[in-house]
Amino acid sequence: IRSDSSQVVNESIPQIYTKATEMRQIYRKIDKLEAFVKMIGNSVAGLEERVIKAETDLGAFPSTFKKILHTISIPSFLNKSSSSRQQQTLYEPPVLFKTEDYFPCLNEAPY
């Protein structure tokens, strides 16, 4: 029992501590990745809203695509229809993120 206890204290606990430290780094990376995915989701949702608004304003969305999209679960903001066409405004390109800003290793040449 003493031998096992000393082995646990001298070998196993330092190994567990080292692994726990490594896991904290992995948890931080996971948290950053979750924040990145959330940011991308918000960006895509914003772009979808702009596309839908543009299609509604211009009336350029074919009915066959509407039928296809209605078979897919669509968020509630897509189901709203405008009662009157709004005055057309100038196109302003959206601010897009650059993947390279978040993953600098992508700037390197491939193998």
User: Would you say residue 31 lies in a domain?
Assistant: yes
Q: Which domain holds residue 44?
A: 1-72
pLDDT for position 17? 94
Residue 89 has pLDDT above 50, yes or no: yes
pLDDT band with cut points at 50, 70 and 90 for residue 82: very low
pLDDT at 31 over 90: yes
Q: How large is the C-alpha radius of gyration of the chain? A: 26
93 is a domain residue: no
Asked whether residue 106 is domain-assigned, the answer is no
Answer whether residue 109 is part of any domain. no
Number of domains in the chain: 1
**Confidence class of residue 86 from pLDDT cuts 50, 70 and 90?**
very low
Specify if 50 maps to a domain. yes
Question: Residue 26: pLDDT band by 50, 70, 90 thresholds?
Answer: very high
Q: Mean pLDDT in the chain?
A: 77
Q: Would residue 86 count as lying in a domain?
A: no
Are residues 77 and 53 in contact, defined by beta-carbon separation less than 8 angstroms? no
In a domain, 29, yes or no: yes
DSSP string, the chain: -HHHHHHIIIIIHHHHHHHHHHHHHHHHHHHHHHHHHHHHHHHHHHHHHHHHHHHHHHT---HHHHHHHHHS---GGGS---SSPPPP----PPP---HHHH-GGGGSPP-
More confident residue, 87 or 49: 49
Q: Is the dihedral of CA 16, 17, 18, 24 positive or negative?
A: positive
